[in-house]
Each structure stands twice: as C-alpha cells, then as structure tokens.
Amino acid sequence: SRVPLLTRKGAPASSNSYTIHHEETYMTQEEDWDRDLLLDPAWEKQQRKTFTAWCNSHLRKAGTQIENIEEDFRNGLKLMLLLEVISGERLPKPDKGKMRFHKIANVNKALDFICSKGVKLVSIGAEEIVDGNVKMTLGMIWTIILRFAIQDISVEETSAKEGLLLWCQRKTAPYRNVNVQNFHISWKDGLALCALIHRHRPDLIDYSKLRKDDPIGNLNTAFEVAEKFLDIPKMLDAEDIVNTPKPDEKAIMTYVSCFYHAFAGAEQAETAANRICKVLAVNQENEKLMEEYEKLASELLEWIRRTIPWLENRVAEQTMRAMQQKLEDFRDYRRVHKPPRVQEKCQLEINFNTLQTKLRLSNRPAFMPSEGKMVSDIANAWKGLEQVEKGYEEWLLTEIRRLERLDHLAEKFKQKCAMHEAWTAGKEDLLSQKDYESASLMEIRALMRKHEAFESDLAAHQDRVEQIAAIAQELNELDYHDAATVNTRCQGICDQWDNLGTLTQKRRDALERVEKLWETIDQLYLEFAKRAAPFNNWMDGAMEDLQDMFIVHSIEEIQSLITAHDQFKATLPEADKERMATLGIHNEILKIAQTYGIKLSGINPYTNLTPQDISTKWDTVKHLVPLRDQMLQEEVARQQANERLRRQFAAQANIIGPWIQTKMEEISHVSVDIAGSLEEQMNSLKQYEQNIINYKSNIDKLEGDHQLIQESLIFDNKHTNYTMEHIRVGWEQLLTTIARTINEVENQILTRDAKGISQEQLNEFRASFNHFDRKRNGMMDPDDFRACLISMGYDLGEVEFARIMTLVDPNNTGVVTFQAFIDFMTRETAETDTAEQVMASFKILASDKNYITVEELRRELPPEQAEYCISRMTRFVGPNSPTDALDYISFSSALYGESDL
C-alpha cells in the first residue's frame, strides 16, 4: 500500500492507518484512533459488526446485504449500490467485468463520488479496498458514515461529533446514573442508551427498574427494543462492550447516530414547539403590558376625574381660619398627592412607547388603548387639571385677601359702633326732658347754652355715623357672612341718629321760646363749654385715630402711616396750648368766684365736661402716642421681614427659573448633539438625569420660602417675574422631558438589538437625520425628510413618498421623529417571526393536518402555553374532524393581524 500522510499533528504516519480530511471539519477526535501501527483487535471486531450492520440497514432497502465487510466490497458493486441508497443519487454505470482493473474502476467511481461530497480521502486507494485491506475498508466505511449519517448533526453551531454529544447530554440529563462525557466508556453500562429511548418513547422501557450493576442486561434491553420498535439493527454485542476497557468510539458513534435520526421527527416537533412557545410568550408579555397600561391609565384618569370637582369647588368659607385650611389642603395636594401622579403620567407614556416598540419589533399590530385612554386623552385631561388647579389657587388667595379685608372692616365697624353707642347712651332721654319749664332764668340760659354745646357735639359726630354706614355698605358689597347683624346694628344707629336730630330740633325750639325771658348768662361758663367741647371732640378723634386698626402690604404703605402719625405728633404742642387755654377759663371762673365770694355749685350749667375730664383724656392721648409709635414700628419690622422674604424668594427663583429653561433647551438638543454609542448616550443621559434630580433640593427650599410668603399673606413680588407655579410647571416638564429622552434612547437600543443594526449604521442614520433636522429639535419636516431620502439614494414619486409618510407618521402629526426614521430605515431588513412561520410550526406538531387537537397541544407545549392556545383557538370545522379539533391557521393569522385573541 502507498505511504499515508500524517494522520494528525504530531502523529507518525502508519502503513496500516488511514486519514480523512474534509473541506469542513465534521468531527474533533478525543483520542487519536489512528495512532498505533495496528488497529486494536477489540476495536476492529466492534467496527466490523457495527459497520456491517449499518451498511445492511441501508442495503436491504435494495434487496441485498453483505456478510464480510472487507470481502463483499472488493469488486465495488455493492459499495456503489450502498452510496446510491444512502445519497438518493445515481452513480456512473459500473464495469461488469471481473478482472482486477474492473474492480479498481468501480471502487474508484465510489471514491470519486465520496470526494464530490466535499470529503478528501487521504491514504485510501482503490487498490487497498480491492485487495481486502481491513483497516482501509473500515476507514472508508467510517468516512461514508461520517459524511452521510453524522456530518449534518449540529447543536448550537458545534461540530458534528460535539453536536451529537451535546444532543445526548441534553436528552439524558434528567436521568440518574447517566453522565455522558464521551463515545466510549460513558455507554458501557447501557443506561445512557436506555435513557435515550425512554426520553423519546417512555412506553418502551421502564427505566425505574434498570440497575447500574447489570450492564449486559441494560445493553441487550436497549438493542432489542431499538431493533423491534425503532427499526435500528443490532450493531454491537453487549459482552464486547462490557469486556472492553474502552469501547470503540466510531462504533458507538455510528450506533448512537441511528438514534438521533430515528428521533429526528421528535426533534423537529420540539423545535416547532419552541418556536410557538416563543411567539406565545411575546404575545403574553405584550398583553400583560397592555393590561398594565389600561389599569394605570384608568387609575390616573379616575384620580383626575375625582380631583377636578374638588378644584372646581369655589364655595368660599365664611372665616379666615377655614379658608387658610383650604389653602393648606391645596399645599398638601401639590406637595404630597400630585407628585406621584406626575411620575405615573410620565411612566405611562414611557410604558406606552416601549410597548409600541416591542409590538413593532415583534411584527405585531400597534396597541390601541380603550376609548378615552389614549396618551393624548390623558394629556388633555392633565392639561384640564392644571388649568383648574391654577384657577383654584388664584381664587383661594383672592378669597383670603377678601376675608382679611372683611375681618378688618368688621372689627373697625364694631369699634366705631361701640364708641358711638357709648356717646349716644341716654341722649334721647336727656333731649326729651322738660326741665326748662321749672328752671330759673339762669338755669334756662344755662340749658340753652348747654343745648348749643350739644348741637355742636352732635354735628361733630355726624362723620362717625357716616363712616359706620360706609363700612356697613362695604361689608355688604364684600359679602360678609354676618352682614345681617351688621345691617341691623347699622340701621339701629341710623334710626337713633335721625331721632336724635328730631329731638334736638324740638328742644332747641322750646329753649328758644323761653330764651327771650332770660337775659343773664355766665359768659365764662359758656366760653369754657364752647372751647372744651371741640377740644374734647378733637381728643376723642385723636384717641380714635391712635387706636384705629390698619392693614398694609408694603413698606411704602406703612411709611405713609408713620408720616401721618408724625404730622399728628407735630400738632400736640398747639393742642396743649388749647388745653391750657381751656383750663385757664375754668381757673378764671374759680378766681372770679374767689375774688367776688361767689359760691359755686361745682357744676357748669353749659356742659358736662369738667377740667378733670379734659386732663384725663389728655393723659390718655399722651399715653396712646408712644403705643401707636410702637405698633407702627412693629409693622415696619413685619413689612421689612416680608420684603426680605420677597427678595430671598426672588434671588432663588431668578436662578432656578433660567436654570430649568437652560436644561430644557439642552435636553431638546441632547439627542441631536450627543455623540458616541447608544450605551454611552444612555450613561450620559442617566448622569444628566441624576444631576437634575440632585437639583431637587433647590426646588424644595424654594417651596419652603414660598410657604413662608403665603403664610405671611404676601401677594406680590416686584423682584421677580417667576412665580412658584411657573417653577413647579417647569420642573415637572423638565423631569418628564429627561425621562422621555432616556426612553427614546432605550427604544433605540431595543430597535438596534432586535433588528441587528451596528453602531456604525446607527451613527450613519443619526448623522443623516441631524443634517436634515434643520430646526435642531429632534424632528424633521416632510420636506426635510424627502430631501434626506433623496440624499440616501431613494427615487421618490409623490405616491411613493405619501406611502412612506403613512409609515413614519401614522398619526399625521406633520413631523418625522428619529425613532420613526430608524424604524423605516431598518424595516426591510428586520428578521422577525411571521404568521407563516408559526403556522408551519403548528403543522409539524399536528402531523401535517390542517387542525390540531387539544391532546396534541397539551402533549407538545408547556402547560401555560397550551392552555393559552386552547382558550383562544376557534373550533375547526371540517369533514371527519374530531370534536376537539382546533383551527391553528386563523389563530396564527390573528397573532399578527388586527383581531383580538
């Protein structure tokens, strides 16, 4: 025989060995079965029996067989017949002669055919086969087995041998006492072969009764069952395998490969079942996401529906305390109840976008929420909520200001009414007296002067009555809750005032009738009375002004009150002179009485005012002046504190407001300007989001300052144009925008991974999109999109462009987003499962029938997926179909269509 090439790297050439080189590597050897000069006798015996049985399993299909493997193939005729049977192809017509060269020609035709199948035969020549060389003949048969029985076995892209081994390991993994690591000693106890049969046909072997210490019994059981029920001929002897330290690997592989091919149909069914499970899992996950969206949308809309009536309720409370409680409730709503809903709304939009992306990537129809639960419906409802919310806060503050004014007016009304009622007490009885009828001339004169003084006093009180009436009118106009009591009291005062005027006029008329009878009057008493009365009124007015309540909202207003108070204090020296002059009249009376020995009664007939009254009121006025100073200064301090609060709020708001606006502008450009991979973009955006979240403490501090401002009843701030409402809305928009931007990148990653887009392709798409995104807002107008497509080589007519626009802008928004652009650019090359693929998988499980039974579904699919199909498939109606026949064709179509399952 010819000298062979090296059989393996590092192994010496052998005259009795053979080497097979394939264009592709079909196997990797764990041991070099060609290394020795002579083939192991035990291995040779096993190979002879196994290869002979394997050849006969095919040759009997042609009505023949072999008895001696090295003898029966020497003329090449049965060798050519074997190749025709196992390949299904015709070989060249064999030579019929019986000479040696005829035999060599036939064997060469067989070897040429083997080489034509991508196998390179090295060291195997026709002469060795014709001469009956056992080792060369066995090597040639092994080559045929490799090419036609083992080559195509590949699991998870492994080589043929590794694939067959991995298949065996997976099928026998659940079985005790079985550990397949190779194709020799792992099979000696027979349990691995029994496990393979039981895994696919548990009805043929009771595995639980097998014992590891009975290898011959186990092997014979496997051989007999395989031959009787699986049409796999007995290729090995149990005793040879058990008694050989290391059974022949090629023999074992040949026999085990028959099991692989016998169970190929089951493998195909398993593959089909896996595909269906995968498709159903996608549908189940999508349905779960849809249910979660519907639930979250319903809860959010229900919360908005419940909240809006509360915010629309503009029924004012009657007290400041109750209205302030409403304001506090509103603050709790803004701080506690609304922020989680803002997050829910943002999450809802993110979930919706993610769901639509998953549906699109899995070739499913787009999700249409229930009526009234679209993202746009929720956005509109949210917009309505915020509009009502803004109006509610403005109404609250207006009502609080109104109640503050009402409380101030009501207190002022009570104070003025009390002073007036104190003054009028007993006046009606006094005016109704007829003391002048029995009075002396002097007394009549005195009564007349006294009445004149009263009239002067009465006129001085006219302003107070008008003020009381004006305050009552304003309380009515401002809808004071106790207006009825105010009106009753005011009406009583006005009626009494009218009656006093009538009585005063009547008494004057009576006194004037008798005044002519009396001529003597004490001028000094009269002058005292005349000067004392207006001075007393002045002091009453001063005390009223010094005790008058006030309400201001700015430094300027309190400064105006201080200026008026300073002007009043400037008049005190002149008033003191008037006091001294008035008291001087009384002193003069005392001096005259003392001088002329007049005995005074101690009563001024013209007035009830005494010098002591004037001195007492004067002391009261002087006491009230510093108290008024203190009250005004305290108000100055309060207004200065309010101003500090305004400036403190403004200083922060003037920083936070522009910061939010800047961040919004940066985010609007970040998806356009950011470079690098999507993961780098995601990391950058996540860091960006964290920076924004870290800024939240500034918002919280501003909220605290705003609460202090509202508690101080500060309603304006000239130092800033930013209100807390502006800051809140801007902050919520900022959080929503960064979350949406991150979600867009997540969807781009999802699209890239699902559609197999490389980072370079994605960068090219981004570069093209950015170039035509002329407004730099992450969107293209239709004209810019058309220009972009033309630049990329598209030949667009109006009809074709209109069709493309319906794909990228199905809602007719007038813009093309980057996500829609990516979807379009990758749509044609996407590899997704289809309805046809699912139908084909079901057809395999149904054994080529147009329907599948409930029993078949439960046998071939996991329980959860099986019940999912059974509950959704319609009954199949057809001739001779069983009662539990189900229509898998319409079910598969529905998975990818518009109908609901």
Token couple for 162:
């590794």
Residue 191: CB atoms within 10 Å: 27
Residue type (1 letter), 609: L
Q: In the predicted model, what is the mean pLDDT of residues 526-533?
A: 86
Q: Which residue has the tokens 């509109």?
A: 380
DSSP structural state of residue 208: G
The pLDDT score that the predictor gives to residue 12 is: 32
CA dihedral of 874, 880, 882, 888, whole degrees rounded to 10: -30
With cut-offs at 50, 70 and 90, classify the pLDDT of residue 461.
confident
The most confident of 142-156, 387-401, 437-451, 497-511, by mean pLDDT: 497-511
Mapped onto helix, strand or coil, the DSSP state of residue 758 is coil
* pLDDT tens-digit series, residues 699-722: 899 889 888 888 888 878 888 998
* pLDDT tens-digit series, residues 74-103: 888 888 999 998 888 898 999 888 898 888
The pLDDT score that the predictor gives to residue 672 is: 59
The pLDDT score that the predictor gives to residue 675 is: 64
Q: In the predicted model, what is the mean pLDDT of residues 112-118?
A: 87
With cut-offs at 50, 70 and 90, classify the pLDDT of residue 18.
very low
DSSP structural state of residue 434: -
The pLDDT score that the predictor gives to residue 833 is: 67
Q: In the predicted model, what is the mean pLDDT of residues 210-222?
A: 93
Q: Which residue has the tokens 């999700």?
A: 367
The pLDDT score that the predictor gives to residue 770 is: 81
Token couple for 889:
């064709």
Q: What are phi and psi of 124, to 5 degrees?
A: -110, 115
Of residues 519 and 785, the one with the higher pLDDT is 785
For residues 734 and 692, the answer to whether their CB atoms sit within 8 Å is yes
Listed as own residue / partner, the contacts of 266-271 with beta carbons closer than 8 Å and 24 or more positions apart are: 266/200, 268/844, 269/844, 269/845, 269/860, 271/841, 271/844
The pLDDT score that the predictor gives to residue 197 is: 92
Residue type (1 letter), 363: N
Mapped onto helix, strand or coil, the DSSP state of residue 21 is strand
Q: Which residue has the tokens 């500090």?
A: 644
The pLDDT score that the predictor gives to residue 774 is: 82
* pLDDT tens-digit series, residues 426-451: 888 888 888 766 665 577 778 888 88
Residue 24 has pLDDT above 70, yes or no: no
Q: Which residue has the tokens 């060269």?
A: 101
Q: Which has the minimum average pLDDT: 482-491, 662-671, 796-805, 829-838? A: 829-838
* pLDDT tens-digit series, residues 226-262: 999 988 998 888 898 898 889 988 889 898 989 888 8
Q: What are phi and psi of 38, to 5 degrees?
A: -120, 140
Q: What are phi and psi of 21, to 5 degrees?
A: -115, 130
Give which of 386, 291, 309, 377 is closest to 341, Cα–Cα: 386
Residue 660 has pLDDT above 60, yes or no: yes
* pLDDT tens-digit series, residues 355-375: 888 888 888 888 889 888 888
Token couple for 128:
């060795």
Q: In the predicted model, what is the mean pLDDT of residues 130-144?
A: 89
Residue 15 has pLDDT above 50, yes or no: no
pTM of the model: 0.51
Helix ranges restricted to H, 724-834: 724-755, 759-772, 782-791, 798-808, 818-827
The pLDDT score that the predictor gives to residue 536 is: 92
Q: Name all domains of the chain by residue range, CATH numbers in brackets.
A: 41-266 (1.10.418.10), 282-409 (1.20.58.60), 426-609 (1.20.58.60), 640-750 (1.20.58.60), 755-824 (1.10.238.10), 836-895 (1.10.238.10)
Kind of pairing between the strands at 874-875 and 119-122: unpaired
Token couple for 719:
């130092």
The pLDDT score that the predictor gives to residue 31 is: 35
With cut-offs at 50, 70 and 90, classify the pLDDT of residue 19.
very low
The pLDDT score that the predictor gives to residue 16 is: 32
Residue 170 has pLDDT above 70, yes or no: yes
Token couple for 638:
């309060």
Q: Which has the minimum average pLDDT: 75-89, 621-635, 662-676? A: 662-676
* pLDDT tens-digit series, residues 836-870: 888 888 888 888 888 999 988 988 888 888 999 99
Per the DSSP assignment, residues forming a β-bridge with 885 are: 853
Give which of 837, 753, 756, 754 is closest to 275, Cα–Cα: 837
The pLDDT score that the predictor gives to residue 393 is: 81
Token couple for 168:
């065996």
The pLDDT score that the predictor gives to residue 36 is: 37
Q: Please tell me the distance from the alpha carbon of residue 284 to that of residue 191, in angstroms, as a whole number.
A: 40
Q: What are phi and psi of 740, to 5 degrees?
A: -65, -40
* pLDDT tens-digit series, residues 736-777: 988 988 888 888 788 777 777 777 777 777 778 888 888 777
The pLDDT score that the predictor gives to residue 667 is: 80
Residue type (1 letter), 396: L
Give which of 259, 244, 223, 257 is closest to 45, Cα–Cα: 244
Residue 380: CB atoms within 10 Å: 11
Residue 216 has pLDDT above 90, yes or no: yes
Residue 676 has pLDDT above 60, yes or no: yes
Residue 433 sits at the vertex; the CA angle it makes with 431 and 437, to the nearest 5 degrees, is 125
CA dihedral of 423, 425, 426, 429, whole degrees rounded to 10: 100
Residues 6+ apart with CB under 8 A from 55: 65, 66, 69, 82, 141
Of residues 453 and 752, the one with the higher pLDDT is 453
Q: Which has the minimum average pLDDT: 17-31, 42-56, 284-298, 379-393? A: 17-31
% of the chain exceeding 90 in pLDDT? 19
How many alpha carbons fall within 13 Å on the CB side of residue 42?
Answer: 14
Token couple for 489:
């009291």
Distances (CA, A) of 443 to 18, 132, 458, 597, 610: 163, 174, 22, 20, 18
What mean pLDDT, rounded, does the chain reach? 83
The pLDDT score that the predictor gives to residue 673 is: 59
The most confident of 767-781, 783-797, 881-895, by mean pLDDT: 881-895
Per the DSSP assignment, residues forming a β-bridge with 817 are: 779
The pLDDT score that the predictor gives to residue 440 is: 55
The most confident of 8-17, 269-278, 549-558, 860-869, by mean pLDDT: 860-869
Q: In the predicted model, what is the mean pLDDT of residues 333-354?
A: 88
The pLDDT score that the predictor gives to residue 409 is: 84
Q: What are phi and psi of 867, to 5 degrees?
A: -65, -35
